[in-house]
Structure 1
Amino acid sequence: MNTVNGPITATFKEVTKDMPMAFTTLNGNVDITFPSNVKANAKIKTDSGDIFTDYDMTMDTSKPKVNQKSSNGTFRVTIDDWVYGKINGGGPEVMFKNMHGNIYIRKAK
């Protein structure tokens, strides 16, 4: 699910096992509610916002990956600044990304 200008809001009553998902927007919040028992590997990035969740997510605490390429005597350095975490032990990848806005990963009550 993606959009350019506007929020993404979705509530899932159930999730198909082993189904990867992605939620992206340029300008707006990403607000997704999953069943409490969902299993997922979360890949999360926001350029100017915050990330909120009420899952007890196991976070990958390794350092960001730095890639360096050389061509014609100059170097290009890029940093992979995604946040990775496992929900309920992990499962299929679920990607959350935006540029301007917050990301909410909610547990259904």
Structure 2
Amino acid sequence: MPTSQVSQVSDNAREIRRTAEFPPSIWGDRFINYNSEQAEIHNASQLQEIEELKEEVRKELLAAVNNSLPKPQLDFIDAIERLDVGYHFETEIQQVLQHLYNTYQL
């Protein structure tokens, strides 16, 4: 294609291109101005609450060993893993799974 035709094609492409008239976002620019440092935990009370919640989950996992039905135990472990917090409870999950295996030979 000769240079003059290329410039005509690009000029035509510029003319055809229209801008979208999108309404403004209901979120504003909250996420555009996201600062990862804001997401860090700075408060000692937040850290304490996190540890308390982790301890509560540990107790629930170990209480699941005494549960007579394996399905609720497996569902609870599945939920923990799907929430991607299972790495906090690897030992407890291993204990529950070992107990299920020994009890039911799953």
TM-score, with length taken from structure 1: 0.22
Q: Which has the higher contact order (CA 8 A, sep 6+)?
A: 1
Larger radius of gyration: 2
Q: Which structure features the higher share of helix residues?
A: 2
Q: Which structure features the higher share of strand residues?
A: 1
TM-score, with length taken from structure 2: 0.22
